[in-house]
Structure 1
Amino acid sequence: MWIKAGLLPLFITYIIGLVLMVMPMPLFLEAWRPDWLSLVIIYWLMALPHRVGMGTVLILGLMTDILMGSIFGIYASALLVMAYAPIRHFQRFRNYSLTQQALVVAVLIFIKRVLVYQLEHWLNDAVFHVSYLYPVISSAIAWPWVYLILRKYRRHYGIQ
């Protein structure tokens, strides 16, 4: 039932995005880790806006809060703000070239990272380092591959 409805393949991509967020990396690459879950969320919001919405983003954000050990709601609220534009303008976003989409993705992830930092700063006195914004660049670079892989995955499983 889950496979026919396309829920299991979607769920698997969310789990992969969450795992990639915490998977160990070499220390010199750690600061450049792309924001995998945000990339997955942006893709599904753009590809299936009628199936993936704010409720899904909220649940994934709360799961991220638990996974990252942050105060409950920080990542959830930042992901909700980030997700508004792809939900609202999915038709326009679909028609952009991959380069234009990568730039939009960079802006969206920048907004998310700034919101997470601001909330962490207000609640936990977090200190800002420029390296905190490196994932904006690496996510924009990773976007074309994420887009193409997830599109092939969606077509393979017939997720609609």
Structure 2
Amino acid sequence: MRPAQGLGFIYLSLLAALLLTVIPVPYQLTLFRPDWALLVVMYWTLALPRRVNIGTAFVVGFLTDVLVGTVLGVNALAFSVVSFVVGVNYLKIRNFAVIQQALLVGLLLALYQLLVFWLSHFLTGVNFRPAYLWPVVIGMLVWPWLFWLLRRYRRQLKIQ
């Protein structure tokens, strides 16, 4: 596969994750929606850190800010910090079993939620609710399936 085709699939998967982030769901399920865009950014940063890096994470985070309607830059900064942590430690994380990766992804998602809460609290006065942590738990449960799906397509399409 040519490099441009591989990059096209990466961007397509990021676009699909952004669409999953804003697709309407019943009100009762909104708290249980995983952070799709961040999960996909973490996968690609882990798999191909030279193609998907902090800059890509910042752009996807900024697009998430625009689509969700939060203060501009909050998700962009949080995505960048999480992507930096994954990018610096990608060789170690790759050697973990998928269940261990899911636990680490849970920690990174908790870091993301904490950063978003802190920034939102200082900028708009949002108060903390324990329900903010549901996307962390759901993201941990979704990670093995998302990892398997994206890795399967990455290998099938020979994206490097």
Contact kept? 2:53, 2:84, Cα under 8 Å? no
CA offsets, 1:141-160, max 9 Å, x none?
Answer: 00000000000111122110
Residue type of the alignment partner of 1:130: P
Residue type of the alignment partner of 1:31: L
Is 1:105 aligned to residue 105 of structure 2? yes
In 2, Cα distance between equivalents of 1:71 and 1:19: 19
SS of equivalent residue, structure 2 residue 32 = coil
2:40 aligns with: 40
Residue type of the alignment partner of 2:46: M
1:121 aligns with: 121
1:16 aligns with: 16
Count of residues paired in the alignment: 160
In 2, Cα distance between equivalents of 1:53 and 1:5: 18
In 1, Cα distance between equivalents of 2:2 and 2:76: 25
Contact kept? 2:45, 2:87, Cα under 8 Å? yes
Quote the RMSD (CA, aligned, Å): 1.5
SS of equivalent residue, structure 1 residue 25 = coil
Residue type of the alignment partner of 1:85: V
Contact kept? 1:3, 1:9, Cα under 8 Å? no
**TM-score normalized by the length of structure 1:** 0.95
Any unmatched runs of 5+ in structure 1? none
Residue type of the alignment partner of 1:79: F
Is 1:60 aligned to residue 57 of structure 2? no
In 1, Cα distance between equivalents of 2:95 and 2:3: 29
Deviation at 1:50, TM superposition (A): 1.4
In 2, Cα distance between equivalents of 1:62 and 1:159: 25
1:72 aligns with: 72
1:152 aligns with: 152
Instruction: State the 4+ residue runs in structure 1 displaced beyond 2 angstroms.
Output: 1-5
CA offsets, 1:51-99, max 9 Å, x none?
Answer: 1111111111111111111111110001111111210011110110111
Contact kept? 2:3, 2:159, Cα under 8 Å? no
- Share of identical aligned residues, percent? 38
Residue type of the alignment partner of 2:25: M
Deviation at 1:2, TM superposition (A): 7.6
Deviation at 1:4, TM superposition (A): 4.2
Residue type of the alignment partner of 2:119: L
